[in-house]
Structure 1
Amino acid sequence: MPYQDVFVLFWNQVEESVEKGNFAKLTMAKTIGKPNLKNIFVRPVYSEDDFKVLLKLRYRSKETEDEEDELTLEEAFKVLKSHLKTHFFSVILFTTKKDVIFKVNKKGAGSITETPPSFSAVTQARRDEE
């Protein structure tokens, strides 16, 4: 199955974890080559009437400052999708119930695997203090 279709199935699990309140973190890893962009992290920002995420772009170069932005889940989806197979081969969803790993192989096929949870509690994101 093309990775774009599998990523939509993966993202359904992200949305479900948010609805159930067990979304802990999401990480894009396994870069393609040695780009300056090292990782993308997504952490939850829960409030009484809304849910947002803190999206952090971490760079290898010390000259490039890491970037943080508070986004809706839909906005984060668009950012992550744009980096698939251009900068990253995998995305890991960490929840308090399970970890879900999405991978793209070199032929462009996507796969999803599940492992026991790495997190036992959800920690809210905070912006880095400057």
Structure 2
Amino acid sequence: MSYQPIFAEFWEKVKESITDKTYAKLTLAKTIGDTDLKNIYVRPVLLDNDVFALSLTAKYKTEEIESTHTLDEAFMVLAPYMNNPFLTALLFTTEKDITFKLNKKRVASIVEKSPTFKNASDVIIAMKEKGISI
């Protein structure tokens, strides 16, 4: 069975956390072997006219590359990185930590744990204060 449907389910939880204003941060991590790309960090940003977007920071061994995308574009950009090179995506919210994992046989699962963060991202807090929804 492919891991993509489960990653899509995980992405729905990302969207919910943004809509519910509980999103703290998202990280793609745990690479397969020694790769040039080490992590991808996803953080919310407000562009001109209070337009919501996601900033993706790809951390390589020698550089960082940042790009900005809509919520749907971010899914399309990030999905191909799962299984090549990342095995884990960690969503931190104020309600729970949600982890998408691929095991050695590339079977996907979603695990929920107690929250690490007490506060949502600063941008999410600003959105709540301004009454901005996505």
**TM-score, reference length from structure 2:** 0.84
Asked if 1 retains the 8 angstrom alpha-carbon contact of 2:23 and 2:121, the reply is: no
Give the aligned partner of residue 35 of structure 2. Answer: 35
User: Residue 35 of structure 1: CA displacement?
Assistant: 0.7
Q: Deviations over 1:79-115 (max 9, x none)?
A: 2101011110010001111110000122221100001
Give the aligned partner of residue 50 of structure 1. Answer: 51
Counterpart Cα distance in 1 of 2:55 and 2:106: 28
Counterpart Cα distance in 1 of 2:94 and 2:122: 13
- What amino acid maps onto 2:109 in structure 1? S
- What amino acid maps onto 2:94 in structure 1? T
Give the aligned partner of residue 79 of structure 1. Answer: 77
Identical positions, percent: 46
Asked if 2 retains the 8 angstrom alpha-carbon contact of 1:23 and 1:94, the reply is: yes
Structure 2, unaligned stretches of length 5 or more? 124-134
Aligned residues: 122
Are the structure 2 counterparts of residues 46 and 121 from structure 1 closer, same or farther at C-alpha, using a change threshold of 3 Å? farther
User: Residue 46 of structure 1: CA displacement?
Assistant: 4.1
Q: Secondary structure at the match of 2:45?
A: strand
**TM-score, reference length from structure 1:** 0.86
Within-5 A mapping of 1:86-105: 86-105=84-103
| Higher share of residues assigned helix | 2
Does residue 1:13 correspond to 2:10, yes or no? Answer: no
- The CA RMSD measured in Å over matched residues stands at 1.6
- What amino acid maps onto 2:59 in structure 1? R
Give the aligned partner of residue 128 of structure 1. Answer: none
Q: Secondary structure at the match of 2:5?
A: helix
Counterpart Cα distance in 2 of 1:50 and 1:16: 18
Structure 1, unaligned stretches of length 5 or more? 126-130
